């Protein structure tokens, strides 16, 4: 069980509802306000790299078009759910704009999941402000409390379509669950956290969830408090030598800057991080080429760091672009118009074009062809990717184009390669070797 200090009476934490389903509904967010410096959404960063909080202090956040799209999707889902619960099943007016129709179709997957969790006697909370303490707080997309089974459900809408979000070991959602229990004083025994990613056709479905015992949150609570203290230590140490010097101080960097793939990916300070820069320079000194001796472990560790380096390059380019768009001059670089791409004007009629070109009508049109398999999957009936793939299976074949090198954590079975045969078929070894050329 969770500590008794988390569990005073429920009476003031959840308001009793009325009506057929006797839901408990909180329509307005309460408690901690503003954007937390140590937010659950950035926990992968500050819990791993406490110095990142110091380096990113005061840096403005720029919202990409994808982030803006996600913000709109969250706003739509919030309005939809509040209207549904406040007006007994009312729905939003049907959108007419094509983009809005598409967004509503995807957001409905999330809305339906939340409504399904609002069983009789449940407490439901939309965009609920929750906090572990005064440093760690944020807004949970949706929370459902089932007092009959002492179960807490936390759902998070992920509108992105490019990268699958894992629910397993998802630190952000676990902190939201922890903060929900502590904010609302809920005596939960079981916690269920779930990701709803309606635009990503994941093999495990658009909705992915996992159960765990609340006792597991005890360790997380301790880890969060330890991480908060580490951030405080990084800030105090930076003040002793001022932040600018801290960026140049090797001992401070070694103590508080800890690059990681998940942590560095969205870090505002990544473009100016001295630890990333130094590690990148070390990597640049290595050369892996056929015929040179190398240490397999060194090659493995280099491969481990490459995703971090790739993200650093992307972040640096984006940072430089944003600075240039603000009017700041970057030596030897300039903003220019992108290469113009020709496209047909709106209102162009085939008959007019045919007459101007003096060609046959059939020459103006592409031949009819099947849509790609990914789009066909979206049209297939089924509750998840596995069911939809089963519908298409009689019409589809899979052919691998070769091998790819991945981390051992990948679920696919390894390919067994005959090293002697591979060496005999090539003039040089199949795996490159590495030495330092700048020593």
Whether 88 is in a domain gets the answer yes
pLDDT band per the 50, 70, 90 thresholds, residue 429: very low
Per-residue pLDDT for 328 more than 50?
yes
295 Cβ contact list (under 8 Å, min separation 6):
434
- pLDDT, position 437: 35
Mean pLDDT of 290-300: 88
Whether 318 is in a domain gets the answer no
74 Cβ contact list (under 8 Å, min separation 6):
127, 141, 157, 159
pLDDT band per the 50, 70, 90 thresholds, residue 175: very high
- Using the 3D structure, point to which of 226, 241, 273 is the last residue of a domain: 226
Whether 10 is in a domain gets the answer yes
Asked if 354 and 222 sit in the same domain, the reply is: no
Strand 286-289 versus strand 207-213 pairing type = unpaired
- pLDDT, position 215: 87
CA distance 218 to 344: 61
> Residues 382-394, buried b or exposed e (16+ Cβ, 10 A)?
eeebeebbeeeee
Per-residue pLDDT for 125 more than 90?
yes
Whether 354 is in a domain gets the answer yes
Contact criterion met (CB below 8 Å) for 427 and 415: no
Whether 429 is in a domain gets the answer no
Asked if 220 and 354 sit in the same domain, the reply is: no
Per-residue pLDDT for 374 more than 80?
no
DSSP-assigned states of every residue in 69-131: HHHHHHHHHHHHHHHHHHTTS--PPPP-SHHHHHHHHHHHHHHHHHHHH--TT-EEEEEEEEE
Q: Would you state the structure tokens that stand for residue 9, as one six-digit string?
A: 């009476």
Contact criterion met (CB below 8 Å) for 218 and 240: no
Q: How many domains does the chain have?
A: 2
Mean pLDDT of 342-351: 85
Which of 166-180, 378-392, 412-426 has the least mean pLDDT? 412-426
Question: What's the distance, Cα to Cα, between the start and end of the chain in Å?
Answer: 57
Per-residue pLDDT for 7 more than 50?
no
Which of 78-82, 277-281, 327-331 has the least mean pLDDT? 277-281
pLDDT band per the 50, 70, 90 thresholds, residue 221: very high
Q: What is the pTM of this model?
A: 0.72
Look up residue 209 and give its DSSP letter. Answer: E
- pLDDT, position 28: 41
The enclosing domain of 204 has a CATH number of 3.90.320
**Between 249 and 72, residue with greater pLDDT:** 72
Q: Would you state the structure tokens that stand for residue 245, as one six-digit string?
A: 């010097």
Contact criterion met (CB below 8 Å) for 102 and 75: no
Asked if 12 and 151 sit in the same domain, the reply is: yes
- Which one of 41-50, 305-314, 378-387 scores highest in mean pLDDT? 41-50
Among 305, 43, 319, 85, which residue's Cα sits nearest to residue 174?
43
Contact criterion met (CB below 8 Å) for 55 and 272: yes
Whether 304 is in a domain gets the answer no
Mean pLDDT of 9-15: 32
CA distance 92 to 137: 30
- pLDDT, position 25: 46
Q: Would you state the structure tokens that stand for residue 362, as one six-digit string?
A: 């059939």
CA distance 150 to 187: 7
CA distance 26 to 24: 7
Among 233, 237, 312, 322, which residue's Cα sits nearest to residue 278?
312
CA distance 254 to 45: 16
CA distance 361 to 405: 49
Whether 219 is in a domain gets the answer yes
- Using the 3D structure, point to which of 165, 196, 226 is the last residue of a domain: 226
Mean pLDDT of 164-186: 93
Whether 78 is in a domain gets the answer yes
Residue 134 CB neighbours (<10 A): 10
Q: Would you state the structure tokens that stand for residue 374, as one six-digit string?
A: 């990914």
- Using the 3D structure, point to which of 162, 197, 226 is the last residue of a domain: 226
Q: Which domain holds residue 368?
A: 350-387
User: How far does Cα 255 stand from its chain's mean position?
Assistant: 27
């Amino acid at each position: 069980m969770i500590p008794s200090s988390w569990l005073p009476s429920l009476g003031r934490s959840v308001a009793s509802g009325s009506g057929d389903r006797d839901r408990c509904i909180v329509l307005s967010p309460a408690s901690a306000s503003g954007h937390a410096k140590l937010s659950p959404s950035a926990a992968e960063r500050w819990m791993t790299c406490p110095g990142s909080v110091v380096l990113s202090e005061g840096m403005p956040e720029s919202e990409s078009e994808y982030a803006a799209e996600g913000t709109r999707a969250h706003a739509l889902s919030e309005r939809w759910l509040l209207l549904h619960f406040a007006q007994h099943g009312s729905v939003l007016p049907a959108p007419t704009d094509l983009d809005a129709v598409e967004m509503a179709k995807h957001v409905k997957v999330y809305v339906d999941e939340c409504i399904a969790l609002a069983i009789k006697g449940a407490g439901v909370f939309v965009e609920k402000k929750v906090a572990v303490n005064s440093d760690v707080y944020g807004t949970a997309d949706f929370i459902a409390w089932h007092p009959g089974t002492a179960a807490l459900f936390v759902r998070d809408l992920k509108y992105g379509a490019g990268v699958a979000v894992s629910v397993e070991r998802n630190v952000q959602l676990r902190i939201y669950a922890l903060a929900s229990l502590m904010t609302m004083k809920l005596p939960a025994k079981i916690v269920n956290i779930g990701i709803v990613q309606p635009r990503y056709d994941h093999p495990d479905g658009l909705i992915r969830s996992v159960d765990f015992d609340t006792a597991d949150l005890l360790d997380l609570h301790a880890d969060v408090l330890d991480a908060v203290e580490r951030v405080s230590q990084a800030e105090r140490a930076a003040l002793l030598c001022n932040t600018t010097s801290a960026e140049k101080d090797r001992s401070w960097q070694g103590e508080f800057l800890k690059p990681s793939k998940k942590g560095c990916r969205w870090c505002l300070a990544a473009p100016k991080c001295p630890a990333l820069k130094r590690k990148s320079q070390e990597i640049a000194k290595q050369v892996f080429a056929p015929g040179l001796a190398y240490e397999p472990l060194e090659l493995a560790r280099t491969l481990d760091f490459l995703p971090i380096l790739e993200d650093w390059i992307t972040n640096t380019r984006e940072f430089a672009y944003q600075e240039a768009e603000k009017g700041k001059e970057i030596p030897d670089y300039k903003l220019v118009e992108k290469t113009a791409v020709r496209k047909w004007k709106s209102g162009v009629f085939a008959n007019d074009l045919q007459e101007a070109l003096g060609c046959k009508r059939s020459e103006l049109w592409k031949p009819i062809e099947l849509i790609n398999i990914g789009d066909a999957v979206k049209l297939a009936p089924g509750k998840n990717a596995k069911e939809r793939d089963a519908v298409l299976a009689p019409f589809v074949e899979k052919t691998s184009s070769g091998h790819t090198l991945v981390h051992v954590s990948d679920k696919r079975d390894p390919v067994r390669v005959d090293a002697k045969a591979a060496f005999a078929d090539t003039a040089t070894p199949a795996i490159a070797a590495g030495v330092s050329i700048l020593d």
